[in-house]
A and B are shown apart, each in its own frame.
Chain A
Amino acid sequence: MMMEHLLTWMIFAPLAGAVALLFVPSREKAVIKTLAAVTALVPIVLSVPLFLRFDRAEAGMQFVEHTTWIPDYHIEYFLGVDGLSITMILLTAALGLICIIASWGIDKGVKGYFPLFLLLESGMMGVFCALDFILFYVFWELMLLPMYFLIGIWGGPRREYAAIKFFLYTLAGSVLMLLVILAFYWNSSVALDDATRADLARVGYTEGHFAAARAEGGWRSFDLTRLSEMSLLRHRMRQSKGEIPLDAAGPVSARTGALAEEVQTRYGRIPLPEWLGGDLMLTFRMLLFLGLFIGFAIKVPIFPFHTWLPDAHVEAPTAISVILAGVLLKMGTYGILRISYPLLPAEAVLFCGPLALLAVVNMLYGAFCAMAQTDLKKLVAYSSISHMGYVCLGMAVLTRTGLNGGVLQMFNHGTITAMLFLLVGVIYDRAHHRDINGFGGLGLRVPIYTGITAIAFFASLGLPGLSGFWGEAFVFLGTWEVPAFRGYALAGVFGIIVTAAYLLWTLQRVFMGKLNEKYATLEEISAREMATLLPLLVVVIVVGVYPNPVLSLIQASLNDMSDVFLWLRSQGGV
Chain B
Amino acid sequence: MGNLESLSRFAPELALCGTLAFVLLLDLFLKGRERPLAWLPTAAGISLAIALALRTGPGGVPLFGGMIVDDALGFFFKMIFLMSALGVVLYARDSRDIAPSYTGEFHVFTLAVTLGLFWMATARDIVMVYLAVEIVSITSYVLAGFVRKDVRSGEAALKYVIYGGVASGVMIFGIAILYGLTGSTDLATIGERLASPSLSGEGALGEGRGFLIDAAPILSAYVLVLAGIAFKMAVAPFHMWCPDVYEGAPTAVTAFLSVGPKAAGFALLMRFLMNVALVPSAEGWVARGEATDLSALLALLSVLTMTIGNLSAIRQTNLKRLLAFSSIAHAGYLLMGCVIATRASFEAMLFYFAVYVVMNLGAFFTIILLARRIGSEDLPQYAGAGWRSPVLGSALVVFLVSLTGLPPTGGFMAKFWLFSSLIRFEGGAWTWLVMVALVNSVISLFYYFSIVRVIFLQRPAEGAGPIRAGWLAQAGLGGMAALLVVLQVRWQPVMEWAQGALK
Query: A residues engaging B (CB < 8 A)?
Result: 69-70, 72, 109, 137-138, 141-142, 144-145, 148-149, 152-153, 159-160, 163-164, 167-168, 171-172, 175-176, 178-179, 182-183, 185-187, 275, 284
Contact of B428 with A183 in the complex, beta carbons under 8 Å: yes
30 contacts between A and B (CB under 8 A): A137-B407, A138-B407, A138-B408, A141-B407, A141-B408, A141-B412, A142-B408, A145-B401, A145-B406, A149-B456, A152-B453, A152-B456, A160-B458, A163-B453, A163-B457, A164-B449, A168-B442, A168-B446, A171-B441, A172-B442, A175-B441, A179-B419, A179-B431, A179-B435, A179-B438, A182-B419, A182-B434, A183-B423, A183-B428, A186-B424
Contact of B488 with A138 in the complex, beta carbons under 8 Å: yes
CB-based nearest A residue for B491 = A70
A167 cross-chain contacts in B, Cβ below 8 A: 445, 449
CB distance from A71 to the nearest CB of B (A): 9
A274 and B450 CA atoms in complex are apart in Å by: 47
CB-based nearest B residue for A140 = B407
A159 cross-chain contacts in B, Cβ below 8 A: 457
A186's partner among B407, B420, B439 (CB-CB below 8 A) is B420
Q: Is B492 an interface residue (CB 8 A)?
A: yes
Contact of B406 with A171 in the complex, beta carbons under 8 Å: yes
A152's partner among B387, B406, B457 (CB-CB below 8 A) is B457
CB distance from A24 to the nearest CB of B (A): 13
Contact of B408 with A153 in the complex, beta carbons under 8 Å: no
Q: Is B208 an interface residue (CB 8 A)?
A: no
B438's partner among A109, A164, A175, A187 (CB-CB below 8 A) is A175
CB-based nearest B residue for A123 = B408
Q: Is B427 an interface residue (CB 8 A)?
A: yes
Q: Mark B387-402, 1 if CB is under 8 A from A, else 0.
A: 1000000000000010
CB-based nearest A residue for B495 = A72
Contact of A148 with B449 in the complex, beta carbons under 8 Å: yes
Q: Mark B439-462, 1 if CB is under 8 A from A, else 0.
A: 101100110011011001110000
B458 cross-chain contacts in A, Cβ below 8 A: 160
- 6 new A-B contacts at CB < 8 Å, known A72-B492, A137-B407, A160-B457: A141-B407, A144-B406, A152-B457, A182-B419, A182-B424, A183-B431
CB-based nearest B residue for A71 = B492
A185 and B457 CA atoms in complex are apart in Å by: 38
A70 cross-chain contacts in B, Cβ below 8 A: 491-492
CB-based nearest A residue for B423 = A182
B438 cross-chain contacts in A, Cβ below 8 A: 175-176, 178-179
B491 cross-chain contacts in A, Cβ below 8 A: 70
B401 cross-chain contacts in A, Cβ below 8 A: 145
B446's partner among A164, A175, A187 (CB-CB below 8 A) is A164
Contact of A153 with B406 in the complex, beta carbons under 8 Å: no
Q: List residues of B (41-67) whose CB comes within 8 Å of A's CBs.
A: none
Contact of A175 with B442 in the complex, beta carbons under 8 Å: yes
CB-based nearest A residue for B444 = A171
CB distance from A137 to the nearest CB of B (A): 7
A179 cross-chain contacts in B, Cβ below 8 A: 419, 423, 431, 434-435, 438
Query: B residues engaging A (CB < 8 A)?
Result: 387, 401, 406-408, 412, 416, 419-420, 423-424, 427-428, 431, 434-435, 438-439, 441-442, 445-446, 449-450, 452-453, 456-458, 488-489, 491-492
A537 and B457 CA atoms in complex are apart in Å by: 35
CB-based nearest A residue for B415 = A178
CB-based nearest B residue for A144 = B406
CB distance from A134 to the nearest CB of B (A): 8
CB distance from B249 to the nearest CB of A (A): 30
Contact of B441 with A182 in the complex, beta carbons under 8 Å: no
A160 and B442 CA atoms in complex are apart in Å by: 17
What does DSSP make chain B's interface, helix, strand, loop or mixed? helix
CB distance from A322 to the nearest CB of B (A): 21
A159 and B445 CA atoms in complex are apart in Å by: 17
Contact of B423 with A186 in the complex, beta carbons under 8 Å: yes
A179 and B408 CA atoms in complex are apart in Å by: 17
Contact of B453 with A160 in the complex, beta carbons under 8 Å: yes
A456 and B213 CA atoms in complex are apart in Å by: 82
CB distance from B330 to the nearest CB of A (A): 16
A87 and B489 CA atoms in complex are apart in Å by: 29
B450 cross-chain contacts in A, Cβ below 8 A: 164
B416 cross-chain contacts in A, Cβ below 8 A: 178, 182
CB-based nearest A residue for B458 = A160
A153 and B424 CA atoms in complex are apart in Å by: 41
B452 cross-chain contacts in A, Cβ below 8 A: 148
A164 and B452 CA atoms in complex are apart in Å by: 10
A175 and B431 CA atoms in complex are apart in Å by: 13
Between B423, B431, B439, the greatest number of chain A beta carbons within 10 A of the residue's beta carbon is seen for B423
Contact of B428 with A186 in the complex, beta carbons under 8 Å: yes
A176 and B438 CA atoms in complex are apart in Å by: 8
CB-based nearest A residue for B457 = A152
CB-based nearest B residue for A173 = B442
Contact of A275 with B420 in the complex, beta carbons under 8 Å: no
CB-based nearest A residue for B446 = A168
A160 and B446 CA atoms in complex are apart in Å by: 12
B492 cross-chain contacts in A, Cβ below 8 A: 70, 72
A164 and B492 CA atoms in complex are apart in Å by: 33
3 closest cross-chain pairs (CB), A and B: A186-B424, A175-B438, A152-B457
CB distance from B418 to the nearest CB of A (A): 11
A167 and B448 CA atoms in complex are apart in Å by: 12
CB distance from B120 to the nearest CB of A (A): 31
CB-based nearest A residue for B440 = A175
A492 and B200 CA atoms in complex are apart in Å by: 69
Contact of B406 with A141 in the complex, beta carbons under 8 Å: yes
CB-based nearest A residue for B437 = A175
A69 and B488 CA atoms in complex are apart in Å by: 11
A233 and B123 CA atoms in complex are apart in Å by: 52
A176 and B428 CA atoms in complex are apart in Å by: 15
CB-based nearest B residue for A137 = B407
A179 and B387 CA atoms in complex are apart in Å by: 36
CB-based nearest A residue for B405 = A175
A69 cross-chain contacts in B, Cβ below 8 A: 489
Contact of A185 with B420 in the complex, beta carbons under 8 Å: yes
B435 cross-chain contacts in A, Cβ below 8 A: 179
A179 and B441 CA atoms in complex are apart in Å by: 13
CB distance from B435 to the nearest CB of A (A): 7
B445's partner among A153, A168, A176 (CB-CB below 8 A) is A168
CB distance from A444 to the nearest CB of B (A): 41
CB-based nearest B residue for A164 = B449
Contact of A153 with B456 in the complex, beta carbons under 8 Å: yes
Between B431, B457, B491, the greatest number of chain A beta carbons within 10 A of the residue's beta carbon is seen for B457
CB distance from B337 to the nearest CB of A (A): 15
A172 cross-chain contacts in B, Cβ below 8 A: 442
B434 cross-chain contacts in A, Cβ below 8 A: 179, 182
A70 and B420 CA atoms in complex are apart in Å by: 15
Given the known interface contacts A142-B408, A178-B438, A186-B428, the answer about A164 and B453 at a Cβ–Cβ threshold of 8 Å is yes
CB-based nearest A residue for B489 = A69
A70 and B412 CA atoms in complex are apart in Å by: 15
B424 cross-chain contacts in A, Cβ below 8 A: 182, 186
A142's partner among B407, B442, B446 (CB-CB below 8 A) is B407
B408 cross-chain contacts in A, Cβ below 8 A: 138, 141-142
B419 cross-chain contacts in A, Cβ below 8 A: 178-179, 182
A152 and B397 CA atoms in complex are apart in Å by: 14
A442 and B74 CA atoms in complex are apart in Å by: 76
CB distance from A172 to the nearest CB of B (A): 5
A168 and B423 CA atoms in complex are apart in Å by: 24
CB distance from A284 to the nearest CB of B (A): 8
CB distance from A153 to the nearest CB of B (A): 6
CB distance from A563 to the nearest CB of B (A): 32
A60 and B336 CA atoms in complex are apart in Å by: 41
CB-based nearest B residue for A186 = B424
A109 and B407 CA atoms in complex are apart in Å by: 25
CB distance from A1 to the nearest CB of B (A): 21
A160 cross-chain contacts in B, Cβ below 8 A: 453, 457-458
A148 cross-chain contacts in B, Cβ below 8 A: 449, 452
A567 and B457 CA atoms in complex are apart in Å by: 52
CB-based nearest A residue for B427 = A275
A70 and B456 CA atoms in complex are apart in Å by: 34
